[in-house]
Chain A
Amino acid sequence: MADDRGYEIINPPNKLKQTVGPKVDLGSGELLARADAAMRKAAAAVDLADDADEYLARLRKALADVGARQGGDQTAAITEIYNITHDLRGQGTTFGYPLVTRVARSLNHYLENRKKLSGAEADVVKAHVDALTVVLKNRMTGDGGAVGEEIASSLESIVGL
């Protein structure tokens, strides 16, 4: 029950600590090194480009919906683009495609809080989708070299990053 201050502080028992037990000697840090190695190996086994067709098809469809609904309700289409892009953003760097994360982050930033897109603004979205397409279709892992940098930094400058 909240007291006169309008708030109540509750100190629940630390069940997590009770479950794991006391700290022990875990050795010289091999646990974390092995876990990092296991993660890198698992990440390297995934090629994001293999799932690319589905992501890109959904993006293009949503972009077409945005265009078809000029002057109308574009929110569902914009939300779809945002969600797909967010998914790619979270995966890109983890699975060897930092350029995907960069372009996706740029597009997420552009779409943040937007409920509608004019024709010109939809062109900015399309430029991002085109960039994601060329990166994934060309399996441009790593930083993408000079051209990859040019594409990503141009997009970032458009959206204000």
Chain B
Amino acid sequence: MIGYRLERLTVLIVDDNKNMRSLLRTVLEALGVSQIIDARDGEHAIEKLQQYNIDLAIVDWVMEPMDGIALTQWVRTNPDSPDQFLPIIMLSGHTERERVVQARDTGITEFMAKPISARSLYKRIQAVIEHPRPFVRTKDYFGPDRRRQTLPFEGADRRKNSGGDAGSLTSDQEAALKRTAAGIKSLEKTR
């Protein structure tokens, strides 16, 4: 197998969940990355970006107080950003197409849906190394050229929610709710 050795990379992991941070660290170390910096949310990541020379960031989406989208926007557009071209892989539990598009439109470089594997992460890092995208600046956007991105998303387009205006459930939904409750009850009895 021909590929890149990752020993010289410094990778920033940004995730508010300690289990995920630890898991990502384990995988990256096993892939050969020796310099790994942790951050627990976007604000913490900004501190780290200003302290260390980061080559690549792997960033979760949903974090408080600053999420992955806001962090990406900061990296791409804030005058204090040390590297507006920083490759950013967004790793997220979101798989809905509109979410992937939203992340892409913010300026992430690549998107990976959870759960990850070591192989898929390595392939994604390889893709970021081998196929850097040109950047585009318009009056509304600065980030990787979105036209060249083919980001994976799983499943078909889903129906959107009605927004809750009706307020009540259909009879099918009521029946399904009863089945759920029965299932849960049967499990509680066996405890």
Q: Which A residues fall within an 8 A CB radius of B?
A: 2, 6-12, 14-17, 19-21, 23-29, 31-32, 34-36, 38-39, 42-43, 46, 48, 51, 83, 86-87, 89-91, 93-95, 101, 104-105, 108-110, 112-121, 123-124, 127, 130-131, 134, 137-138, 140, 147-148, 150-151, 154-155, 157-161
Contact = CB atoms under 8 A, between A and B. Distances in A.
26 contacts: A6-B139, A7-B137, A7-B138, A8-B137, A10-B135, A25-B1, A32-B122, A39-B118, A46-B23, A87-B17, A89-B114, A91-B17, A91-B20, A94-B20, A94-B115, A104-B93, A112-B160, A112-B161, A118-B167, A118-B168, A123-B169, A124-B169, A124-B177, A151-B183, A157-B173, A158-B177
Contact of A35 (B17, B122, B129, B164): B122
B128 to A, nearest CB: 6
B161 A114 contact: yes
Contacts of B93: 86-87, 89-90, 101, 104-105, 108
Nearest to B7: A20
Nearest to A32: B119
A109 B90 CA distance: 20
Nearest to A29: B1
Contact of B19 (A28, A46, A113): A46
A109 B99 CA distance: 12
A32 B32 CA distance: 10
Contacts of A48: 19
A157 B176 contact: yes
Contacts, number: 223
Given A32-B118, A38-B118, A114-B164, A155 B176 contact: yes
Contact of B3 (A26, A86, A95): A26
Contacts of A12: 85, 132, 135
Nearest to B169: A120
B118 A160 contact: no
Contacts of B158: 109, 160-161
Nearest to B31: A35
Contacts of A157: 172-173, 176
A53 B145 CA distance: 44
